[in-house]
Amino acid sequence: MADLSINLAGIKSPNPFWLASAPPTNSGYQVQRAFEAGWGGAVWKTLGEPILNVSSRFAAISFNGQRVMGFNNIELITDRPLEENLKEIYETKKRFPDRAVVASLMVEPKREKWHEIVKRVEDVGVDGLELNFGCPHGMAERGMGSASGQVPELVERQTYWVKEVARTPVIVKLTPNITDITATAEAAAQGGADAISLINTINSLMGVDLDTWNTIPHVAGKGAHGGYCGPAVKPIALNMVAECARHPRIRIPISGIGGISNWRDAVEFMLMGATGVQVCTAVMHHGFRIIEDMIEGLNHYLDEKGIASVMDIVGKSVSKYSDWGDLDLNYKVVARIHRERCIQCNKCYISCEDASHQCIERLVDENGKEYLKVREEDCVGCNLCSIVCPVDGAIEMVEVPSEHPPMTWNERQAALGRLSGCSVDIKSL
């Protein structure tokens, strides 16, 4: 059995699965039950100045029969007294000394405010701090959360203030509601952050009730934008984690967050550079016990690969992620339809004919039976037919030899620049 323990910037836990700062980590009762179930760590629901929450806070979107494909909330940070939270954090850490207990913090962007809360929280024995620069609603309107997290200078400055007094590792949680998340990630690193976590929730409006015309959710007939999370945001989060992992000036560990629902998702995030992962929506949907399948699945995966430690997979796919201009223009794949598996639903034909390159033909064999075939010389390898096909393995994307050597767009442009004054036929490039 593989070693599942991780070390994120000095914060150790028996496995890479942490609960994200959210409703499931709102109290000691919940966090302790999660640890009993097997979770390796938890980031406590964000602590700060006293706030008031509203009633009717959550909404979800389902797709094709899958419940909670996306999740929206307009809940703020903890509405429980700081003293009560600190007492429960102390009790939880004392009872589970081997688990990672991280305190999420959010205060006004003032040096003395950060110094005060950091000292109070560290006194109860937390393993680390997570600075919440990501919450997009409510708190942002007060100059905190993503309002700070969208300004690199504020991220760097507040991180520096925290590092002035912090004795434990400092993780900076980043907002995705920004043009380039690497700008704030770099600012966090320059401010002295020991690690970054991403992503927080995405600005969203879940929907509108077609009968009442109220937003979903609504509070007495009025709504506001909230934070979007759940399986639907995973590709966005994975890209942002990868961009930070491959950035040359962001050389600090990453805690991956966003749409992680099972062990497979976790492995993808770790391959793209995350040392560990945080989970929220999946727990709100299915409960703490999902950790059992996550641990078992990860163990089996590592054993099948012959990998001794989960830390050995961190970042292994980062070098495979690049810019479009570095992709080989002469690499080619084509679609091939396996007749023995095809059920003649014509989904691939319709998609190709209406939305792609019209290279699937409907033919009739010598026995009068219809079948589908790809004109490979016209296929551009877009993958659409294999994506819409309802039968696994019925359509295969196959690599075919190219008559040209590998060449990227950047290489092509460089060659054109060198040859622009020569007599060489540059159209051949």
The position carrying tokens 């929280």 is 121
Whole-angstrom distance, CA of residue 371 vs CA of residue 119: 71
Whole-angstrom distance, CA of residue 242 vs CA of residue 256: 10
Amino acid at 88: E
Amino acid at 149: G
Whole-angstrom distance, CA of residue 111 vs CA of residue 252: 24
The number of helix segments (H) and strand segments (E) in the chain equals: 13, 20
Burial of 52-61, coded b for 16+ CB within 10 Å and e otherwise, reads eeeeeebbbb
Return the structure tokens found at 230: 């759940």
Return the structure tokens found at 377: 């010389």
Asked if residue 357 lies in contact with residue 380, where contact means CB atoms within 8 angstroms, the answer is yes
Return the structure tokens found at 352: 């190709």
Burial of 223-239, coded b for 16+ CB within 10 Å and e otherwise, reads bebbbbbbbbbbeebbb
DSSP state of 381: -
Whole-angstrom distance, CA of residue 422 vs CA of residue 412: 15
Secondary structure E strands in 309-414? 332-337, 360-364, 370-374, 395-400
DSSP for 272-300 reads TT-SEEEE-HHHHHH-TTHHHHHHHHHHH
DSSP for 187-238 reads HHHHTT-SEEEE--PEEE--EE-TTT--EES-BTTB---EEEESGGGHHHHH
Burial of 279-312, coded b for 16+ CB within 10 Å and e otherwise, reads bbbbbbeeebebbeebbeebbebbeeeeeeebbe
Catalytic residues: 135
Return the structure tokens found at 67: 């419940």
